[in-house]
Structure 1
């Protein structure tokens, strides 16, 4: 009896209808009586169109507006509010008579919303319903949408590396190279320190681009330097070997020189012991790094060279050809204009790294080259061309990375790749996710 009195008390709040009752739940719970006054409900409470191609129209999004109160719900207006409302339309006019939409108890109307973005923007407006509901005379439903160039694509990568690698440096020893080699040698510790941090098992040697002198022509200068040796000794010995002078042939043939160095008779003769096949059951990686301020004048063409060098390993992914060259006709302020096109072509064909030889930041260049030599990459090629570019999103191990040429990422239109820089370069084993939009058409 006591419970019955409470149920009939005027203090019992019947205005707040449980969500399960609004959705027609018939799980056996006791139904809640409707309020005497009008009681509006709108389903769903939030509308999100997602990505819609600019200047195209979305599919209709159904919004149901109903009355759960005993008294008639009288709707006086349904409209959008906020910035960008011209991109949205709704079809409720067909339900109005004499400026009103009257919904008796238990009835509802289906209102279709559509979204036609005019710009590459995020839209956020409200669908506002004015009624005689005493608790919600103005009911607002958030409405979201994004003006896109096309579908959104998400690509995932994992930063891998090879713990075993043989690195062959091909250094231009023509007369114009002296200040460049000095700059490289001043910063070489950045290269070898990265190798040490990755705990790589490496072989490293130097040849020149001179194919005229009999004591060069693909022959290793100095010796073979390995991770088993003292690191300081490796640095000092490498610096001596890479200081190849400036009296070499002006017909730089870096492709011919590296091919000779890695082929017979030098491979088992003068250069014996440099190139390894496997270590502990894993194929040893091969990295060729060219440093030159001139284009290549070898007899072999880049395509044939690419096929040849990739064929040296069972897995082509274990081969890298990187270039520190003049990357464009304007990159060196007019001092050097002989772009290393042939070297760049091979680098792009082997997923190698291309760096500008006139850079002021040789330290960073050598760090990035070292990662490429280890089979890692700073450049992640995309399957499709992103548009607009400001819609690109990049994360590493779930952390969003900002766009920056120092410690972030940039987009390289020539290779259609995302390129990482500085501290943002993914470490071995880290996952990279790149999301972007592409140009699309109306369906």
Structure 2
């Protein structure tokens, strides 16, 4: 299909020493908002442009030789900044990653995330990673990291933490002159987006109180995930695109999600957290009318070749939208399949079990596959060269590189909820990873070590990784990443280019549909590892035969 491409000049109004606001604010009525195609705020000095309904008077340029653009919104307890770093070190990637390839900047991103984490820990906080993934972005692939930050004592504002991290990342702004905010709390989220433009690494960092997560998502979610922020100099023109779809009679909105859950003796707390928050998990799955299947196997090699059966029906081995009492059979009840117990083998071999499990009757040919590893220990076979429990005597132990190739070839997207280690033992000729200060964690979610092999598979295949030590209140963020990936992969409305989100207009049979970032009733744009997709929710889901026209701007 040919689409007309109309070049439109983006109104990036700026001067060398000041910020200029461009465009109008979005509609506050119940009608769909007017598209916003130009930058709301642009700072040539900081080389950052923001898009969306962002008020110019909430922003400020700071610094001289290493400037930044600040954004402060006390109404939602939010403080953020964007800045550019010159010429990051580029290392050859050790493995091929998903199409949203951030491997060229990964070392630099890891270094900056470590700097931020160390600064927060030194300030008295406990820090756990909730999201670590790469997605398609307007200018280039975007690396996204979200941290859960909790203080035991003392009150701080979001601006306090933003100012601390701005200084740690090298800005020469006078910290004592920066906005300090009016809130005070102990539980925060730090959201980071990194992307590369020419020889510059750019970042947007947002800090907000955990209690304001939903409000911040609605107001600044597109900025936090790098979808509505670009460099000024590279974003001078946009191209308008239009795509037309017809909702198929047999629309396949399906996804098969396999969970590989550690059932060794140390997993009671983690399984409890996995079972909690299930209401939101199922509500989100159902709001998108996702034809999901959820199945579970364990990390015990002696019994993991078969999927767990449901407590109310021993003949069934997965949960779907039509399963009676599905939420209870998943995790609300103590014998739900998300709580497989703690009597399994202490030799946790998640890779072996994911590869060996019989998926007959569960796996659908036309449905995308997602695999979620949940473990508080290293992957024993590939890290310690241990023989899986119950494996045949003729079995040869396999290393990480062998499994890596098999998992990539499977076409599935993998997620990791595990320990925080980052050291990968690629082959058995490499030494076993030594313990380091950052290779283990402890928190409300329990105690964990290892995890690097699970996280690396997630990175390679376009999934996300999170700390299993995160508090139970934060596990909903992990669930959300899995659900958004599932709905994005299952969507029939994939866009040709990553869009500027404020420019999107969606019409079904000529009637405009509102965007709903709460995923209740409307549409949203989800950015995946390879592309962006439009997903509909609630009453906005098109009926069979409906015509869907989507117009948007892209670079």
Into which bin does the TM-score normalised by the smaller protein fall? 0.3 to 0.5
TM-score (norm. length: structure 1): 0.46
Larger RCO (CA under 8 A, 6+ residues apart): 2
Structure with higher Rg: it is 1
TM-score (norm. length: structure 2): 0.38
